[in-house]
């Protein structure tokens, strides 16, 4: 019963959080963004004390069910491990404590030192976010586009074509390597990553040792058949000594379901002692129901979101991103330093951005950190989706009105690229499309009536949305681009 309930809950959590990353319609985050916010590391970085306390209490009560139900990378390993159809494929092994604590130490040092790329490589939620965004989402979109093509032939509008944006090479390579490494480890040894590398697993292992409910042996019933050890994907059950390493046990229930003699049960020490003294039978289904209820109640942490608009102007192709002196970070991130310190690199904001403004950085100094660029769209003042879905507090939740007053950068005009000067034609696209009215067209030479009209930027009014850069017809570099501010300003 425990295994079935755990599997159902894990399946529901895994499918829904994967849909959150795959969704390109802008609807899933209204209902599912809370699933990202209850992940352990994002909650810690966001200083979401309530979520952290709930997760710790769940661990103290039930053991490491976070790893087997809530964490998408943990469930992903279970899915991959199932592909290995070999029976009784695992065995007990001693904990590699030196490696676990070393990886945790590396994570803490990277977090304190602000080395975001190292932190993001080790974080389990971020690792799955990269896999889902870089590998799964393109396949999902391709499938949608195939269905859209079929629908067109039968005059149906059930599906519509979506843009396929080529993934950034370095980040794609990291996602592929992460996928391969975790898949190989899961196929060979089940939960090796969780119990040797994952820093979240190591932190929760401290609390799991003292959990109220544990998987325990009834030595009188045990026949030392070793099926429990051979089916424990955490390699934490030693059938010879009838012991379980609770710091590594993820309460998957495999051992209980495989035991033919009823020698393993999921209960408390107090309950076991009470049974021995009173010789009472225990209805294990009640405990399983309690576990299910505790997991479902985590949904109460979700918050309702307002509806928002998506879309953008028609795409202009063959643009090349300018070399910005300062990285552009999303409105609500406050500053580059704040953004780098809190971002887990999960890429959820990248996958949710409706105008393809956000993308993972390939700069080694802040590798995988999302940054803004305007070749394929601009940051619409009415869109605040990235701030709604960010689980780590790297992008603070902002309203539409507040966003219109945040200056994340300012536009800079490049005379040598401007088409009124290079081609002798009238333009003014940047001024017409500026949502804040920060650009005016003035004569290049006030004393010449036939002088071409050029843009002049009012930096005090510019919010750095990138509309001017996006609509500029100059190729390959825009004649006007946005230079970022290290600390965002209010106008």
- 470 in any annotated domain: yes
The backbone torsions φ and ψ at residue 431, rounded to the nearest 5 degrees and listed phi first, read -70, -40
Number of C-alpha atoms within 13 angstroms, CB side, residue 463? 21
Contacts of 359 (CB under 8 A, 6+ apart): 165, 168, 350, 370, 371, 373
182 lies in which domain range? 1-209
Q: What is the pLDDT of residues 365-400, one digit of tens each?
A: 788 899 999 998 999 988 999 999 999 999 999 988
The backbone torsions φ and ψ at residue 428, rounded to the nearest 5 degrees and listed phi first, read 80, 15
- 241 in any annotated domain: no
- 259 in any annotated domain: no
Which of the listed residues 161, 190, 209 is the one where a domain comes to its end? 209
Residue 312 has pLDDT above 50, yes or no: no
- 265 in any annotated domain: no
Which of the listed residues 209, 241, 267 is the one where a domain comes to its end? 209
- 292 in any annotated domain: no
Pick from 197-211, 292-306, 421-435: least confident: 292-306
- 216 in any annotated domain: no
* 3-class secondary-structure state, position 415: helix
Into how many domains does the chain fold? 2
Residue 298 has pLDDT above 90, yes or no: no
User: Is the backbone of residue 270 left (phi > 0), alpha (psi -120 to 50) or beta?
Assistant: alpha
Which helix (H) or strand (E) element contains residue 238?
strand 237-238
- 59 in any annotated domain: yes
Q: What is the pLDDT of residues 64-99, one digit of tens each?
A: 999 999 999 999 999 999 998 888 889 999 989 999
- 140 in any annotated domain: yes
- Whether omega for the bond prior to residue 476 falls within 30 degrees of 0, making it cis, is yes
pLDDT at 166: 66
Residue 300 has pLDDT above 60, yes or no: no
Residue among 447, 443, 478 nearest 373 (CA):
478
Contacts of 313 (CB under 8 A, 6+ apart): 377, 378, 433, 467, 470, 471
d(CA 246, CA 232): 12
Q: What is the pLDDT of residues 30-65, one digit of tens each?
A: 899 999 999 999 999 898 999 999 999 999 999 999
d(CA 383, CA 400): 7
* 3-class secondary-structure state, position 267: strand
The residue written with tokens 């966003």 in the block is 403
- Which of residues 469 and 307 earns the better pLDDT score? 469
pLDDT at 293: 56
pLDDT at 304: 40
CATH of the domain at 455: 3.30.70.20
CA dist 27 to 20, 98, 354, 486, Å? 9, 44, 11, 32
pLDDT at 332: 94
Which of the listed residues 209, 224, 244 is the one where a domain comes to its end? 209
């Amino acid at each position: 019963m425990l295994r079935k309930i755990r599997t159902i809950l894990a399946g529901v959590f895994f499918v829904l959080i994967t849909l959150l990353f795959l969704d390109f319609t802008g609807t899933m985050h209204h209902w599912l963004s809370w699933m990202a916010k209850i992940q352990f590391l994002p909650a810690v970085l966001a200083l979401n004390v309530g979520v952290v306390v709930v997760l710790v209490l769940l661990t103290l009560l039930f053991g490491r069910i976070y790893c087997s139900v809530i964490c998408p990378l943990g469930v992903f390993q279970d899915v991959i491990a199932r592909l290995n159809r070999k029976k009784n494929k695992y065995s007990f092994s001693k904990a590699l404590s030196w490696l676990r604590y070393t990886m945790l130490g590396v994570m803490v040092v990277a977090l304190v030192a602000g080395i975001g790329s190292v932190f993001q490589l080790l974080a389990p939620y971020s690792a799955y976010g990269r896999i889902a965004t870089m590998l799964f989402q393109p396949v999902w979109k391709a499938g949608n586009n195939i269905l859209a093509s079929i629908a067109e032939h039968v005059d149906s509008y059930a599906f519509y074509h979506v843009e396929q944006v080529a993934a950034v090479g370095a980040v794609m390579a990291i996602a592929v390597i992460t996928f391969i490494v975790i898949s190989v480890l899961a196929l060979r040894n089940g939960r090796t990553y969780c119990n040797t590398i994952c820093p979240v697993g190591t932190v929760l292992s401290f609390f799991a040792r003292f959990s109220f409910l544990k998987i325990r042996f009834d030595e009188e019933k045990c026949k030392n058949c070793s099926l429990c050890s051979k089916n424990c994907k955490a390699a934490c059950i030693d059938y010879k000594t009838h012991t379980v390493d609770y710091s590594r046990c993820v309460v998957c229930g495999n051992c209980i379901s495989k035991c033919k003699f009823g020698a393993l049960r999921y209960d408390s020490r107090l309950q076991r002692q009470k049974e021995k003294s009173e010789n009472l039978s225990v209805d294990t289904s009640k405990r399983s129901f309690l576990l299910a209820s505790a997991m479902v109640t985590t949904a109460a942490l979700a918050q309702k979101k307002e509806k928002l608009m998506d879309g953008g102007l028609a795409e202009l192709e063959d643009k090349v991103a300018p070399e910005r002196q300062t990285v552009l970070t999303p409105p609500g991130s406050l500053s580059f330093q704040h953004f780098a310190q809190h971002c887990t690199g999960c890429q959820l904001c990248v996958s949710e951005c409706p105008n393809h403004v956000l993308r993972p950085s390939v700069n080694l100094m802040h590798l995988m950190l999302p940054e803004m660029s305007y070749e394929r769209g601009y940051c619409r003042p009415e869109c605040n989706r990235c701030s709604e879905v960010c689980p780590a507090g790297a992008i603070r939740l902002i309203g539409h009105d507040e966003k219109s007053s945040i200056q994340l950068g300012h536009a800079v005009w490049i005379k040598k690229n401007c088409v009124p000067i290079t081609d002798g034609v009238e333009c003014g696209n940047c001024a017409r499309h500026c949502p804040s009215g920060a650009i005016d067209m003035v004569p290049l030479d006030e004393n010449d009536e036939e002088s071409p009209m050029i843009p002049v930027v009012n930096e005090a009014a510019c919010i750095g949305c990138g509309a001017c850069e996006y609509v500029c017809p100059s190729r390959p570099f825009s004649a006007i681009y946005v230079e970022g501010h290290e600390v965002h300003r209010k106008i």
